[in-house]
């Protein structure tokens, strides 16, 4: 059976389960074994009992004639997404034993589609961090090269895909948190239009930025996963039904390319190769600048720090979470929160309280200018092509903020962005590129991505 599972897509596996070629129980047993042997630190909690129970239920549903689009497909879940009866730790000492009494809507929609949960993945603590190294449970390592960065905060989700222990994963993206790990681990990550995927059950860090995201080992599987989890949810007041722009293969598209000079040679080569493939279709491909590029990263960190401070105020150990032996809220938070998270909270205090909140108000105004600037850009261009990071695949501990410039625009503006592993660096490791479109442009991004991969799209 292992030969049948090697390099298989989620869609193909679901076809095999629906046809009876393999049972969901047989399939998930194989992937549970792979996950249990994980040497990369991808998982915090394995869900063997839940997976086998779900697989048995899927086999019965298939036998009764029910059509399940993701029948028997294994998936992982970032550990800031609530799963009823299964620990949701946010990779924090503070929540290391927290078991939620409800599940996130996106997770429930996956279960309804026949997908099988394998485990909860490692991440930066409360999604604060960019390399997956702030987790209380240890750092996730890149299966392609353990000396290289995994990106964060959805590091474990990307690692679980790259190591082959699942075919799909739910991550979250606040400022590139799913897209950077996807690029560095050679998989696919989509940050959807804000509100298109319910955030109910996502432990919030910065609610006006973050979105639950589909991550996958193939582009087509990513689109299928997004389709399953998309849709309005009455339990999330920010969710909405999105009218997706359809792709017309006969219509010449306008493509803007943002490629700063400071990007390294491998990155520039990957972006230029992607641009050439689009130009070969007789599309209009031009260099562009992004609005307020000197301020965008600072705006993101200013506002997200303020929201993090406000959001995490409810974690006081009185209602849930780890209580210090001293029995005080201050001691509980000091002992339960890691250094990076405490620093981000302190930054949020400064932003909201310094000079009567003037720093915060100034950042809000700049965010509005960025949104207006991007809307103007989308009036001229259908798609924006950018690098993922200035460096193709940084060494562990060296990433810093070098990828943030390209990542934060989609979160500041609420528009969709797709990362595709397109090129290779000098060591043969993947180099990702990013596509952005206006709100509702997900279908357009997937089709353009297929063209960049050299596939025929009509």
Measuring CA to CA, how many Å separate 86 from each of 62, 103, 216, 449?
26, 9, 23, 36
**Residues whose CB is less than 8 angstroms from the CB of residue 58 and which lie 6 or more positions away in sequence, other chains included:** 17, 24, 68, 71, 72, 114, 116
Residue of 140, 153, 165, 332 marked active site: 153
Residue of 78, 120, 148, 191 marked active site: 78
CA–CA gap between residue 106 and residue 200 (Å, rounded): 8
Residue of 113, 177, 218, 305 marked active site: 177
CA–CA gap between residue 341 and residue 346 (Å, rounded): 9
State yes or no: is 101 an active-site residue: no
State yes or no: is 160 an active-site residue: no
Question: DSSP state, 43?
Answer: E
Distance from the first to the final alpha carbon of the chain: 36
CA 112 to chain centre: 21
State yes or no: is 78 an active-site residue: yes
Beta-bridge partner residues of 286: 256
Helical H segments across 87-178, by residue range: 105-112, 155-162
Class of residue 1 by CB neighbours under 10 A (exposed 0-12, middle 13-18, buried 19+): exposed
Query: Which one, of 89, 71, 104, 100, lies nearest residue 156 by Cα?
Result: 89
Task: Supply the residues annotated as catalytic.
Answer: 78, 153, 177
């Amino acid at each position: 059976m292992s030969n049948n599972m090697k390099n298989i897509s989620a869609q193909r596996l679901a076809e095999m389960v629906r046809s009876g070629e393999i049972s969901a129980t047989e399939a998930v047993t194989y992937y549970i074994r792979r996950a249990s042997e994980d040497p990369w630190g991808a998982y915090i909690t394995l869900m063997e009992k839940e997976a086998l129970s779900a697989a048995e239920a899927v086999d019965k549903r298939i036998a009764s004639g029910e059509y399940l689009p993701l029948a028997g497909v294994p998936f992982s879940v970032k550990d800031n997404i609530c799963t009823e009866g299964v620990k949701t730790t946010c990779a924090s000492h503070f929540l290391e034993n927290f078991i939620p009494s409800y599940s996130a809507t996106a997770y429930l929609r996956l279960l309804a589609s026949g997908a099988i949960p394998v485990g909860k993945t490692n991440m930066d603590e409360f999604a604060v961090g960019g390399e997956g190294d702030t987790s209380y449970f240890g750092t996730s390592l890149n299966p392609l090269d353990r000396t290289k960065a995994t990106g964060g905060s959805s590091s474990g989700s990307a690692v679980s895909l790259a190591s082959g222990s699942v075919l799909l994963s739910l991550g979250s993206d606040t400022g590139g948190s799913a897209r950077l790990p996807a690029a560095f681990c050679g998989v696919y990550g989509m940050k959807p239009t804000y509100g298109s995927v319910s955030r109910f059950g996502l432990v919030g860090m910065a609610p006006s930025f973050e979105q639950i995201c589909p991550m996958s080992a193939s582009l087509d599987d990513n689109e299928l996963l997004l389709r399953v989890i998309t849709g309005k949810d009455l339990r999330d007041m920010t969710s909405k039904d999105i009218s997706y722009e359809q792709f017309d293969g006969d219509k010449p598209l306008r493509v803007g390319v943002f490629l700063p000079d400071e990007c390294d040679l491998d990155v520039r080569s990957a972006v230029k190769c992607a641009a050439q493939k689009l130009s070969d279709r007789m599309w209009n491909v031009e260099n562009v600048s992004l609005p307020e590029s000197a301020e965008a990263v600072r705006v993101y960190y200013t506002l997200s720090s303020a929201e993090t401070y406000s959001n995490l105020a409810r974690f006081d150990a009185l209602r849930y979470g780890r209580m210090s032996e001293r029995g005080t809220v201050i001691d509980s938070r000091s002992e339960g929160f890691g250094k990076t998270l405490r620093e981000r909270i302190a930054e949020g205090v400064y932003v909201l309280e310094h000079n009567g909140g003037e720093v915060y108000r100034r950042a809000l105004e700049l965010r509005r200018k960025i949104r207006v600037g991007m809307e103007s850009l989308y009036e001229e261009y259908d798609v924006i092509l950018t690098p993922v990071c200035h460096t193709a695949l940084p060494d562990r501990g060296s990433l810093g903020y070098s990828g943030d410039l390209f990542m934060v625009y989609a979160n500041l503006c609420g528009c969709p962005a797709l990362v595709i592993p397109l090129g290779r660096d000098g060591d043969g490791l993947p180099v990702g590129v990013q596509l952005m479109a206006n709100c509702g442009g997900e279908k357009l991004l997937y089709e353009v991505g297929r063209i960049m991969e050299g596939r025929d799209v009509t």
